Amino acid sequence: MAQLLDPRTTPGPMTVLNTAITMLGSGELQGHLWASLQRVLQGLAIGVSLGVVGALVAGLARWGENLIDANMEILHAVPNFAFLPVLIAWFGIGEEPKVALITLSVWIAIHINTYSAIRNVDASLVEAARTFGVGRRELITAVILPGALPGFLVGLRLALTAAWLALIFAETINAPTGLGRMMSDAREYFRIDVIFVLLGVYALLGLASLAVARFLESWLLSWRRSFDGA
């Protein structure tokens, strides 16, 4: 087995584990992880807010559809990471362009799914609500938003994946901290073991995000009795 893989390019599991323990022991990994996590959380918070509000405006008003949805479609058509040079030109090379790139990816994923979910809310339910005197505000909070929730949660799943992906790209710009910084350092010094540790960290973060999305789905969609596998 050891002969099949060159330990210089593919370190053994024990080597990787020892590296991980060392990185954790020095607090180096936690520090960089926290920096990355903050960027992702900020991008998620701003992106989800913009996505939901924008999808509501586009979903409820004709002018909103023309103003927002058309532009989101264009943004969706361009690979997000191609915006990086523009974001750097606008926001410099600090935290802002990194958070902005994550925000953009999240916003698009949330918008596309939430907007289409709003437009797919059962028209007969909306009609029934109106005949029972439901006003605009209650229509949004009691009919349209909960009706669009399943679609929003699909968007959130995609947004979580997109956020971590955007983070890796964002941290290639002059990042003094973060998992991306550790990754480029490791590449520079040919620390394949560190790269494997970081791949493991990315995998765990992805799984954790998925667990959050699953938890939200089972909690928020408890009214739904849907097919959950035979």
Partner 1 sequence: MARDQTTLERALLGRGDHHDHAVIARNVGKAFDDHAVLRDFSLEMRPSEFVALLGRSGSGKSTFLRVLGALDTEVDGYVRIPRHRAIVFQDPRLMPWLPVLRNVTLGLPQTREVKEHGLATLAEVGLQDHANAWPRTLSGGEAQRVALARAMVREPQLLLLDEPFGALDALTRIRMHALLRELYRKHRPAVLLVTHDVDEAILLADRVLVLTEGRISLSTKIDLPAPRNRSDPRFAALRRHLLTELGVEPD
Max Cα separation, the chain?
76
Residue 127 touching partner 1 (CB under 8 A): yes
Question: Alpha-carbon distance 87 to 91, whole Å?
Answer: 6
User: Which lies closer to partner 1 via its Cβ, residue 108 or residue 143?
Assistant: 143
**Can you say how many angstroms the Cα of residue 137 is from the centroid of all Cα atoms in its chain?**
29
DSSP 3-state of 191: coil
Residue 9 touching partner 1 (CB under 8 A): no
Question: Alpha-carbon distance 160 to 63, whole Å?
Answer: 29
User: Which lies closer to partner 1 via its Cβ, residue 73 or residue 138?
Assistant: 138
DSSP 3-state of 216: helix
- Evaluate whether 115 touches 69 at the Cβ level (below 8 Å): yes
Residues between 144 and 203 that touch partner 1 (CB under 8 A): 146-147, 149
Q: Minimum Å distance from CB 130 to partner 1?
A: 7
Q: Minimum Å distance from CB 139 to partner 1?
A: 9
Question: Alpha-carbon distance 11 to 6, whole Å?
Answer: 8
Residue 130 touching partner 1 (CB under 8 A): yes
Among 63, 189, 223, 227, the residue binding partner 1 under the rule CB under 8 A is 223
User: Which lies closer to partner 1 via its Cβ, residue 24 or residue 128?
Assistant: 128
By rule CB under 8 A, what string of x and - marks binding of each residue 46-75 to partner 1?
------------------------------
User: Which lies closer to partner 1 via its Cβ, residue 147 or residue 206?
Assistant: 147
Question: Alpha-carbon distance 186 to 28, whole Å?
Answer: 13
